Amino acid sequence: MKDKEASVLIEKAISTGGGIVRLAPAWVPRSFLSPGGRLKLATQDLYALGAHRGGIDERWFASTTQADNGPGTPFDEGLSYIAVEDGAKLQKVLFRDAIGLLGEAFLGKDVMDKEGGWNVLTKFFDNLGPIPHHMHQNDEFAARVGMMGKPEAYYFPKQLNFTGNRFPYTFFGLEPGTTKDDVIRCLERWDEGDNGILDLSRAYRLKPGTGWSIPAGILHAPGSFVTYEPQRASDVFAMFENMADGKPIGWDMLVKNVPPEHHHDMDYIMSMLDWEANVDPEFRAHYYTEPKPASPVAEMEKEGCVENWISYGSEYFSAKELTVLPGKTVTIVDAAAYGLIVLQGHGKVGTLSVESPAMIRFGQMTEDELFVTADTAKAGVIVCNESDHDELVMLKHFGPGNPDMPARN
């Protein structure tokens, strides 16, 4: 599709939705993990991309980031599409292209001037078992392979965690007193069965309705909760565990984003870790997060809603959870553009109908994901819960620099 034709469709979508556009589901497989089956994707479609690609265990939201899944990855894997109704025909335009063509209309001139685009990636991940102990490089190390660093945050939605699956605990960092030589010895045992790196770490029990904020450079092995994860728009990582949930992991997954000359350089690999943060004796106090009300709760309930900050304190992203009470209509004002995903209930956001589906077939369009432009967010969005009994619940993800975001403490 040519730029001029795409621009016309994008402008039509923005105009039709009153500054709000509808996004199609973006599904992502991971070959080294087993899907948990709680993202509402039909069971028969969990391996819709082929067993060789792995099960679909992630859904990405408002994504301008291509999934880095190695050879055979389609060019648009992980990328969101704007759905545009063109008469009786449903057309789609890549959200990444829309930001490139009309970024100011979506994000505002100030954000485009400063950031150059939508530099946040938000996803659900859902696994049967734990993810291998790994880390994400900071800007310095990521830049050496042409990528951006990746801090991230986690939130565990109550609506999707009706079961904890195999391991509802997450390992974070390393036990205080662990030495760098201890970790190097684990890496040296890569081909000798389980390298034992989890013996050097500490697991925390996961609790629905809470979360964590994890800067780049910290080791973590996420557990088997469905996790809402705002993060920097990057897919950079390094696996430090060679076997997880019974599946072996190749050395190539440790050095995937390491310059070739350092693929067996232990000093370089270890230098990617934020050592002091990994062995922090007060790790939970520094990185665990509870929801923070956006306003006094009694005042919000009187208006017909409750809104909590669920990811905050990062310069790169933030997120809220909005609950609109049964039968209520509220006007929600935000200081920046955002994407949203509906977790529960049905109603309207602006002029667009929304609902949380019970089951989704691969390739099927849904009405649970939107993007709200900056001007519309600042003017206020009317959100209507059309149910007399059920709450309307949605998660809202923001990019860098939301001025309303609270500090961590």
Which pLDDT tens digit goes with each residue over 66-89?
Answer: 998 888 899 999 999 999 987 778
Q: Is 323 found in the same domain as 265?
A: no
- What is the predicted pLDDT for the residue at 64? 96
Residue with tokens 């479609």, as numbered in its chain: 45
Q: Is 377 found in the same domain as 266?
A: no
Over residues 122-147, the mean pLDDT reads: 97
Q: Is 342 found in the same domain as 257?
A: no
Question: Does 4 score more than 90 pLDDT?
Answer: no
CATH number of the domain to which 351 belongs = 2.60.120.10
Q: Are 344 and 390 in contact (CB under 8 A)?
A: yes
Q: Which domain holds residue 199?
A: 25-79+120-279
Question: Does 293 score more than 80 pLDDT?
Answer: yes
What rounded mean pLDDT belongs to the chain?
Answer: 96
Distance between CA atoms of residues 1 and 22, nearest Å: 19
Over residues 174-201, the mean pLDDT reads: 97
For 267-302, the DSSP string reads HHHHHTS-HHHHT-TTHHHHHEE--EESS-HHHHHH
Domain boundary among 279, 303, 323: 279
159: Cα separation from own chain's centroid: 16
Partners of 331 in beta bridges? 382
Amino acid (one-letter) located at 28:
V
- What is the predicted pLDDT for the residue at 387? 98
With cut-offs at 50, 70 and 90, classify the pLDDT of residue 153: very high
Over residues 259-276, the mean pLDDT reads: 98
With cut-offs at 50, 70 and 90, classify the pLDDT of residue 242: very high
Distance between CA atoms of residues 89 and 205, nearest Å: 48
Total structural domains within the chain: 2
Q: In which order are the strands placed within the sheet that holds 120-125?
A: 26-30, 55-61, 120-125, 227-232, 152-155, 211-214, 288-289
Closest by Cα among 216, 209, 348 to 274? 216
With cut-offs at 50, 70 and 90, classify the pLDDT of residue 409: confident
Over residues 294-316, the mean pLDDT reads: 97
- What is the predicted pLDDT for the residue at 401? 86
Distance between CA atoms of residues 317 and 213, nearest Å: 11
Domain boundary among 228, 252, 279: 279
- What is the predicted pLDDT for the residue at 3? 85
Residue 285 falls within a domain, yes or no?
A: no
With cut-offs at 50, 70 and 90, classify the pLDDT of residue 247: confident
- What is the predicted pLDDT for the residue at 280? 98
Q: Could you tell me the pTM of the whole model?
A: 0.96
Residue 29 falls within a domain, yes or no?
A: yes
Distance between CA atoms of residues 392 and 375, nearest Å: 24
